[in-house]
Structure 1
């Protein structure tokens, strides 16, 4: 594993297609971050703080900027107009194999059921394949998260034939299945 690998992305990253615009977070987005992440479903499936308040949003944004500066990850607001965040998609070097780029995503409660996650994942995956050129683009999803598995399938990801990845989130172990995007 190449532990010195980084995501070399020219800032600011802004991607448009499929009726969504993905852009980097700004300080003006703090209230929107709270609206997106202070939600029981987000708390259930993501490692973010819960409850997620303005202080948590500031810490989250600082962590996003630090990860970006280190070349470890980029966190993009999912918008339909380039302005108001409705969700997020993350691109980061995968812990199990840093030749892989892992995507993660979430859509705020007021914006679910509109196909935003699938459109954002499709756009981010195409960008990753074209511009970052990892060994694989992967998703790691809890088997009980049927909505995320449906997004994976709709974006042509396939369940990988490999052992689950175990992670600790807020003091509890979670078991994630790996989905990969065939070439």
Structure 2
């Protein structure tokens, strides 16, 4: 693996495994995006707009398409049937080191507690290692986000001793710890 290259991301048509199907977002998903992201927990842990309405969903989908066109980011709907979005998994070049691939994820309130996040992260991480071949696959998680830390542990990620990463979104500062996929 070339550890000096910058990653270029291309969306897979579809990923399937572990009882989930990951697929591209479509314009038909706008109402589902609102249902997933207009939620206090999503607003607490993610940088999405809050409140999250149809205008926010349109802007979000446009941003996802732009990130994909630039080869920086892939955003996939998490489904169990290939149709109804229950969450999202994102793959993107890390801002700290563009040789690293960062994953992020969220599951809608109505679909939590079913293991969807863990299954989607596992599937996306395996795809990343096999097809994208980054230097490493990482998650950035706030220390207070116990649910996301549990997903990280379940999916073979381990907490690193790297200094926390600070990100600002919606005027709010988030201090995130780095987890890396064990090889």
TM-score (normalizing by structure 2): 0.96
Residues in 2 aligned to 1:7 and 1:13: alpha-carbon distance in whole angstroms: 16
| CA deviations over 1:32-59 (Å, ceiling 9, x no partner) | 0000000000000000000000000000
CA distance in 2, matches of 1:8, 1:128: 10
Give unmatched runs, 5+ long, in structure 1.
none
Separation in 2, partners of 1:13, 1:46? 25
SS at match of 2:150: helix
Superposed displacement of residue 12, structure 1: 4.9
Q: Which runs of 4+ in 1 moved over 3 A?
A: none
Q: Which runs of 5+ in 2 are unaligned?
A: none
Corresponding position of 1:21: 21
Inter-partner Cα distance in structure 2 for 1:6 and 1:51: 33
* Helix, strand or coil at the partner of 1:144: coil
Aligned partners of 1:118 and 1:8: how far apart in 2?
22
Q: Counterparts of 2:172 and 2:52 in 1: how far apart (Å)?
A: 18
Q: Which residue of 2 aligns with 1:140?
A: 140
Query: Equivalent residue for 2:169?
Result: 169
- How far apart in 2 are the matches of 1:6 and 1:130? 13
Aligned positions, number: 181
> In 1, Cα distance between the equivalents of 2:55 and 2:83?
22
User: Structure 1, residues 109-146: CA drift from partner, whole Å, max 9, x if none?
Assistant: 00000000000000000000000000000000000000
Aligned ranges for residues 1-183 of structure 1 at < 5 Å?
5-9=6-10, 11-183=11-183
Q: Whole-Å Cα distance in 1 between the matches of residues 34 and 143 of structure 2?
A: 26
Q: TM-score, normalised by structure 1?
A: 0.96
Cα offset, 1:153, TM superposition: 0.3
Q: Deviations over 1:145-181 (max 9, x none)?
A: 0000000000010001110011101112110000000
In the alignment, the residues of structure 2 paired with residue 8 and residue 93 of structure 1 have an alpha-carbon distance, to the nearest angstrom, of: 8
SS of match in other structure, 2:32 = helix
